[in-house]
Amino acid sequence: MDIEKLKASVVDEVDTHRQQLSELSLKIHSNPELGFHEVKAAAWLTEYLEENGFSIERGICELPTAFKASYGQGKPAIALLAEYDALPNLGHACGHNLIATYAVGAGVASKPAIDRFEGSILIIGTPAEELYGGKVIMANRGAFDNLDIAMMVHPGVRDIATVRSLACQTLDIEFFGKAAHAAARPEEAINALEAMLQSFNAINSLRQHIKDKARIHGIITDGGEAANIVPAHSAGNFLVRAEDSAYLDELKQRVLNCFTGAATATGARLEYKWADIQYAPMRNNLTLAQLFTQNMQSLGRKVQFPESGEGLGSTDMGNVSQLVPSIHPFVAIAPEEVLLHSPQFASAAASETGIRALIDTAKVLAMTIVDLVANPKMVIKVKEEFQQEK
């Protein structure tokens, strides 16, 4: 069987499962679950995979809603990553119901390629991408060891082959002062809110003198109790981002200096905590992205490579990409004016356009798996690029 015939076969497999995949995606969409609580989604996904011949390991990495489904044996070991957590109050406004079904649909469809050639396909269920960085935890616990390739596709507003993402870490800040009547005895007080405001001003000044793609942003989560009481406590939550992990570490200290200076100026006591999770920047494997692009184009989709600096955010897929050759393309499900993490995007994730993207993406991922297992030299090329970039 030549490669083109095998690709046609896996495309037909996706079409055969079209109704089941659509129903699975919509069921997850209608039952949104927050990170680490995706009990229903994980159960539905693993049941579907088990019914279609995959071996299932549930609760991997000591995370109850994580899983690994495998088919075939040996190398290359190709992983498709599934996300299925929702956003607070917005449901699936990031389209993770689609990400999960892209992966399981492609995995099931690629079985003929695994049967024909050597290798194995793994669907790795990765909970809690939103807010908690579940893949970082899983990477630290060995979930992505011994893989040759990892792929995950995200819904978006354009078809994009590669994604630029930043290293990122969260910082929680508290200032402790001394309360007093704001009019009668202000001289007795230490203003914790003023310390927070001075910190924001210092950060605003710092922004002029940091690298172009670095980002610092935050919110005040506690600013006092009443206008006539000098606040004895203030709290804030901040994100610090940089193009690479080395500059992030440098920038973290400069950001912390802003808070330290404000504490000295006001007399408030500073307490801070960096999050245990640090997101790594995304390393796009261009060899793999080119295969994905060619298969997307074969379905009539026009794929773009983003301009430098476009679409900067952070993703825990970046941590996976530091360990194994990876791609994280985007596939359009909505017009460009629709924003991710909006009610409009949540609607798009259950729309006819969203389902059409689901079917196309499952086909493209399955065809890309065919390219890899049918041509060992291509896998070598992917891995050589990854080693050269280290």
Q: What is the pLDDT of residues 93-133, one digit of tens each?
A: 999 999 999 999 999 999 999 999 989 999 999 999 998 99
Cα-Cα-Cα-Cα dihedral sign, residues 241, 247, 250, 254: negative
Report the largest interatomic distance among the alpha carbons of the chain, rounded to a whole angstrom: 88
Helix axes 352-374, 286-298, angle to 10 degrees: 120
Please choose, from the candidates 185, 91, 81, the residue with its C-alpha nearest in 3D space to the C-alpha of residue 124: 81
What is the model's pLDDT at position 309? 46
pLDDT tier, 53 (very low <50, low <70, confident <90, very high otherwise): very high
Better-predicted residue by pLDDT, 310 or 389: 389
Amino acid at 216: I
Residues 198-247: tens digit of each pLDDT: 999 999 999 999 999 999 999 999 999 999 999 999 999 999 999 999 99
The predicted model scores a pTM of: 0.92
Question: Over 50: is that where the pLDDT of 258 sits?
Answer: yes
Q: How high is the mean pLDDT of the chain?
A: 96
What is the model's pLDDT at position 313? 87
Q: Decide: 323 and 146 in contact? Cβ < 8 Å.
A: no
**Token pair listed for 59:** 């609760």
**Token pair listed for 360:** 């196309």
Question: Over 70: is that where the pLDDT of 135 sits?
Answer: yes
What is the model's pLDDT at position 103? 98
Q: Decide: 85 and 128 in contact? Cβ < 8 Å.
A: yes
Residue found under tokens 């049967």: 115
CA 247 to chain centre: 21
pLDDT mean over 68-74? 97
DSSP 177-213: -B--BTTT-GGG-B-HHHHHHHHHHHHHHHGGGS-TT
pLDDT mean over 336-365? 97
